[in-house]
Amino acid sequence: MAYALLSVSDKTDLTSLAKSLVQHGYEIISSGGTARHLEAEEVEVTSVEQITGFPECLDGRVKTLHPRIHGGILHRRDNSEHCRIVDSLEMASIDVVVVNLYPFEEKAIKGQLTLEDAIEFIDIGGPTLIRSAAKNWEHVAVVTTPADYDLVTSELRANGEISRDTRRLLASKAFRHTGRYDSLISRTFQRLAEDDPLPPDHLLVALDCAQVLRYGENPHQKAAVYAFAGGTPDVVGAHQHHGKALSYNNLLDLDAAWALARSLPASGAVVVKHTNPCGAAYSADGLMAAYRRALACDPVSAFGGIAAFNGIVDESLASVLTEIFLEIVAAPGFTDGALEQLKTKKNLRVMEMPQTSEIAPIIPWMLRSIGGGVLVQELDTEVEDQETWTVVTERAPSEREEEGLRLMWEVCRHVKSNAIICGDSDGTSAIGAGQMSRVDAVQLCAMKAKLDLSGTVAASDAFFPFRDGVDELAKMGITAIIQPGGSIRDKEVVEACNEHGIAMVCTGHRHFRH
């Protein structure tokens, strides 16, 4: 007699699978809720207890952990001694194992349970069954998701058996299934039971494929986007209302734009191109005014870029957004009229971004691949204590200059290094990004400026190694500068500021972005 063991939390399409197995000569073994479900659907079931001769116990913690179950799964059918032992011990030969696990992610993580409550959703028997069957894939088919039921039933209908290639494929999926499950449990223990230090000795990351992309940065590169399993919805979870499918480059730009937009004060607008801001602003007069200021910073580079907002886009703003070519418009929400306006642009991607969730991210760090490994670091999201900032020049910044410095300092952490950002309390006026020397970044600001820089302030993401950067900023009419400080030539830099009548604030924090 051939047996199939069925024990699942997700009972989607289970009855049809069970009936197909019965039709092809399998006797169903099951227990608990799965057995009750099948019996209610008039599927004959042999209980696990009938096979093991041992009762389910410990509130269901021990059901299938028994030699008569695992011997029936693990014995090699091409090994005569294995077969003799199975016969002598009256084990059931289990050729199909259909198991999915206790819903740890849904109940423990998304339900934000304490560690004490979460452990009750850690499956023990299920992963053991899956791993036993997957190890013996040459003889046993293991199925861990309803998505594969059709594959199994179609092969049974066509051939009366499950092919070797399919068993191997299912085993590979099975080990991914249990690996994902264990990683979620490990991360939950780290988050709830430890201080979650960086770095842990081993970093287990479960990723679920969210979308296969047309290609990567270039057409010859294959690409996909994955979401952190059990994580907080973010850019990957954004809802697309309209437009072409997102590309690899679109997603990189969208991530950069949304990170800056949501860090700005209310009624903030950002325009991004190639992951660097072309402009950023906020306005008490609303998103329209903020967008116009952000766009004015670098309207040439904005062509083909992304516009992101931290408020609801209305119809009047949407009408203005359609005046130039944009790849993406992103915001936490859109009015019906705004969506109607934006959808007049056939290819424009309209992205509704998830609201901030109280669920902690499953991986609270930035991961970046390099040859042979992954770099891991904390996210650069620390809110700095401005009381620790120090005025290092003879002149302190005015109240208006202070407001501008605070805004430029927030923007600079989102600009590729070396970075210099010029502007005022309303928004950016020029951005010098990604230069090999700091004075080049300053000169790039002067070259790209479309707005008058006279009377504006500047931020530098790292210290000035020489006074030349300050001298160039003075020529542009900059009146105040914010920077980390820490150069061996800080004294010379401060002296240059005093000579030009520039106020300088040192923060003690660097914001490199590579």
Structure tokens given for 387: 């009381």
Alpha helix locations (H) across 76-120?
Answer: 80-88, 104, 115-118
Neighbours of 145 (CB within 10 A): 15
- Max alpha carbon distance in the chain (Å)? 97
213 close to 236: Cβ distance less than 8 angstroms: no
268 close to 281: Cβ distance less than 8 angstroms: yes
Q: Is the peptide bond before 250 cis (omega within 30 degrees of 0)?
A: no
Cα–Cα–Cα angle for 359, 363, 368, rounded to 5 degrees: 145
Q: Is 447 helix (H, G, I), strand (E, B) or coil?
A: helix
Residue 379 burial by Cβ neighbours in a 10 Å radius (0-12, 13-18, 19+): exposed
Cα–Cα–Cα angle for 120, 196, 173, rounded to 5 degrees: 55
Measured CA to CA, the distance from residue 505 to residue 493 in angstroms comes to 12
Q: How many residues does the chain have?
A: 514
Nearest to 168 by CA among 130, 206, 136: 136
Structure tokens given for 349: 């991607």
Nearest to 260 by CA among 111, 109, 413: 413
Measured CA to CA, the distance from residue 306 to residue 330 in angstroms comes to 8
List C-alpha distances in Å: 413 to 354, 390, 512. Answer: 22, 19, 7
Q: Is 139 a catalytic residue?
A: no
270 close to 261: Cβ distance less than 8 angstroms: yes
From the candidates 107, 135, 242, 343, give the one annotated as an active-site residue.
135
Q: Is the peptide bond before 397 cis (omega within 30 degrees of 0)?
A: no
**Amino acid identity, residue 33?**
G
From the candidates 274, 343, 450, 500, give the one annotated as an active-site residue.
274
Does an H or E element contain 421, and which?
A: strand 420-423
Cα–Cα–Cα angle for 255, 319, 335, rounded to 5 degrees: 70
254 close to 328: Cβ distance less than 8 angstroms: yes
Q: Is 135 a catalytic residue?
A: yes
Give the residue carrying structure tokens 């923060």.
507
Structure tokens given for 325: 């070519």
Does an H or E element contain 22, and which?
A: helix 14-23
Nearest to 35 by CA among 18, 22, 23: 18
List C-alpha distances in Å: 419 to 430, 469, 508. Answer: 11, 12, 17
What positions carry a catalytic annotation? 135, 274
